[in-house]
A and B are shown apart, each in its own frame.
Chain A
Amino acid sequence: MSEPAGLELAAVTKRYGRTVAVDGISLRVPAGTYCCLLGPSGCGKTSTLRMVAGHEEVSDGDIMLGGEVINGLPPARRGTAMMFQNYALFPHLDCLDNVAFSLKMRGIGKADGRERAHRMLQLVEMDAYAGRLPAQLSGGQQQRVALARALITDPRILLLDEPLSALDPFLRVRMRAELRRFQKDLAISFVHVTHSQEEAMALADLIVVMNGGRIEQVGSPREVFNAPSSLFVARFIGGHNVIEDGPGATGGAVAVRNDLVRLVDAATLGGGGPGDGEIRRSGRVAGIEFQGSVVRVTVAADADLELTVDVAERAFFDNPVGLGDPVVAAWKPEDAHALTGGSA
Chain B
Amino acid sequence: MSAFGKTSTPYWQALPFALVFLLFFVLPLGLIVMVSFWDYNGYQIIPAFTGQNYLDVFDGCIADLPDLCLTFATYLSTLEFGLMVWAITLVLGFTVAYFLAFHVRTLTMQIVLFLLCTIPFWTSNVIRMISWIPLLGRNGLVNDTLLRLGLVSEPQDWLLYSHFSVVLAFVHLYTLFMIVPIFNSMMRIDRSLLEAARDAGASGWQTVWNVVVPLCKPGIAIGSIFVVTIVMGDFVTIGVMGGQQIASIGKIIQVEMSYLQFPAAAANAVVLLAVVLLIIWGLTRMIDIRKEL
Q: Tell me the A residues contacting B by CB distance below 8 Å.
A: 53-55, 74-77, 81-82, 84-86, 88-92, 101-102, 104-106, 149-150, 153
A106-B193 contact given A90-B211, A91-B215, A101-B210, CB 8 Å threshold: no
Residues of chain B within 8 A (CB-CB) of A101 are 197, 200, 202, 210
The B interface, classified by DSSP as helix, strand, loop or mixed, is: helix
Name the interface size band of chain B. Answer: 10 to 19
Whether A81 lies near B199 (C-beta < 8 A) is: yes
Interchain nearest-CB distance for B2 vs A (Å): 39
Evaluate contact between A55 and B195: CB separation under 8 angstroms. yes
Interface set, chain B 158-193, CB cutoff 8 A to A: 190, 192-193
Residue of B nearest to A159 (CB): B199
B282 in the interface, Cβ–Cβ < 8 Å? no
B201 near A: Cβ within 8 Å? yes
B198–A76 CB distance below 8 A:
yes
Q: How far is the CA of A92 from the CA of B201 in the complex (A)?
A: 18
Among B192, B195, B210, point to the contact of A105 (Cβ < 8 A): B210
Contact of B199 among A82, A86, A92, A106 (CB under 8 A): A82
Q: Is the CB of A105 within 8 A of B206?
A: yes
Q: Which of A53, A55, A86, A102 contacts B190 (CB 8 A)?
A: A86
Are B201 and A76 in contact, CB atoms less than 8 angstroms apart? yes
CB distance from B212 to the nearest CB of A (A): 11
A88, B190: Cβ atoms closer than 8 Å: yes
Contacts of B199 in A (CB 8 A): 53-55, 75-76, 81-82, 150
**A106–B200 CA distance with the chains assembled, in angstroms:** 9
Q: A92-B215, A101-B210, A105-B206 are known contacts. Are A84 and B200 too (CB-CB below 8 A)? A: no
Q: Which of B199-225 contact A (CB under 8 A)?
A: 199-203, 206, 210-211, 214-215
Indicate which residue in B190, B193, B200, B215 contacts A76 across the interface (CB closer than 8 Å): B200
Let me know if A75 and B193 touch, CB within 8 A: no
- In the assembled complex, the CB of A166 is this many whole angstroms from the nearest CB of chain B, namely 12
* B154 smallest CB distance to A (angstroms): 52
Contact of A149 among B198, B200, B214 (CB under 8 A): B200
